């Protein structure tokens, strides 16, 4: 089987970010891709999306640690990543929720290390269309009182079409973001799922399933 088409990995957001076993993230990506030459282009794009997402999450985690780890900050960090985690690995979403439900079960530094390690493992998964559609439906629920019947029906039609494989993720995602720009919601505004990295990277392009 022919190898997937070449996929360019954008530079990490900061040279100060930790490397993986001393390697730049782009080298790790290329090495992983070379080891799975039978992967489809969609699988290669998923790897790229996941890796770049984790670079930015890693940066946010180190910022949290620099500011000072605390229980409220850890819970806020988790809340911001809940829908990203739900799309990637629903089982891990539930397990990490249980882990954080009892913050006094162990010292905070050890618990935080367990949490972040498990989060990164969960985010290695390529979300299915069904998982993405489930998250999109959850997010659309925050708009149920803001949208008129026409806009609401159109949004659900786009989500259903994506779930059926007729549209790329970028289409319903773009419409959701447009609606939230017109009808802001403070909780959704913090969700990393909607903006895991800057738009200039253009990873969730119209060709990205």
Q: What confidence tens digit (pLDDT) does each residue in 149-194 have?
A: 999 999 999 999 999 999 999 999 999 999 999 999 999 999 999 9
**Cα 55 from Cα 58, distance rounded (Å):** 5
Q: What is the predicted pLDDT for the residue at 18?
A: 39
How far separated are the first and last CA of the chain, in Å rounded?
A: 21
**Cα 27 from Cα 20, distance rounded (Å):** 9
The pTM of the full predicted model, rounded to 2 decimals, is: 0.79
Q: Does 16 score more than 80 pLDDT? A: no
Q: What is the predicted pLDDT for the residue at 139?
A: 98
**Cα 74 from Cα 110, distance rounded (Å):** 12
Q: Does 21 score more than 50 pLDDT? A: no
**Cα 136 from Cα 194, distance rounded (Å):** 10
Find the mean pLDDT for residues 41-58.
Answer: 79
Find the mean pLDDT for residues 136-147.
Answer: 96
User: Which single residue is written with the structure tokens 């909780």?
Assistant: 187
Q: What's the chain's average pLDDT?
A: 82
Residue 197 confidence class, pLDDT cut points 50, 70, 90: confident
Q: Does 30 score more than 60 pLDDT? A: no
Residue 33 confidence class, pLDDT cut points 50, 70, 90: very low
Q: Does 27 score more than 80 pLDDT? A: no
Domain positions in the chain: 27-122, 129-189+196-201
Structure-block tokens of residue 77: 């960090």
Q: What is the predicted pLDDT for the residue at 43?
A: 66
CA distances from 101 to 64, 90, 110, 185 (A): 20, 17, 15, 25
């Amino acid at each position: 089987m022919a190898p997937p088409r070449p996929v360019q990995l954008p530079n990490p957001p900061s040279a100060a970010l930790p490397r993986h076993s001393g390697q730049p993230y782009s080298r790790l990506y290329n090495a992983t891709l070379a080891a799975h030459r039978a992967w489809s282009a969609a699988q290669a794009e998923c790897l790229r999306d996941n890796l770049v997402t984790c670079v930015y999450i890693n940066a946010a985690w180190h910022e949290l640690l620099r500011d000072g780890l605390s229980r409220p900050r850890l819970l806020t960090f988790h809340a911001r990543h809940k829908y990203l985690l739900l799309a990637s690995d629903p089982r891990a979403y539930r397990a990490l929720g249980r882990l954080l439900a009892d913050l006094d079960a162990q010292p905070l530094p050890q618990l935080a290390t367990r949490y972040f390690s498990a989060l990164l493992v969960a985010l290695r998964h390529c979300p299915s269309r069904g998982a993405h559609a489930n998250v999109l439906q959850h997010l659309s629920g925050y708009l149920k009182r803001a949208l008129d019947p026409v806009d609401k029906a159109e949004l659900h039609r786009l989500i259903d079409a994506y779930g059926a494989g007729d549209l790329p993720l970028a289409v319903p995602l773009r419409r959701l973001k447009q609606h939230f720009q017109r009808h802001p919601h403070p909780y959704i505004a913090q969700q990393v799922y909607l903006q895991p990295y800057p738009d200039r990277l253009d990873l969730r392009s119209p060709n990205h399933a």
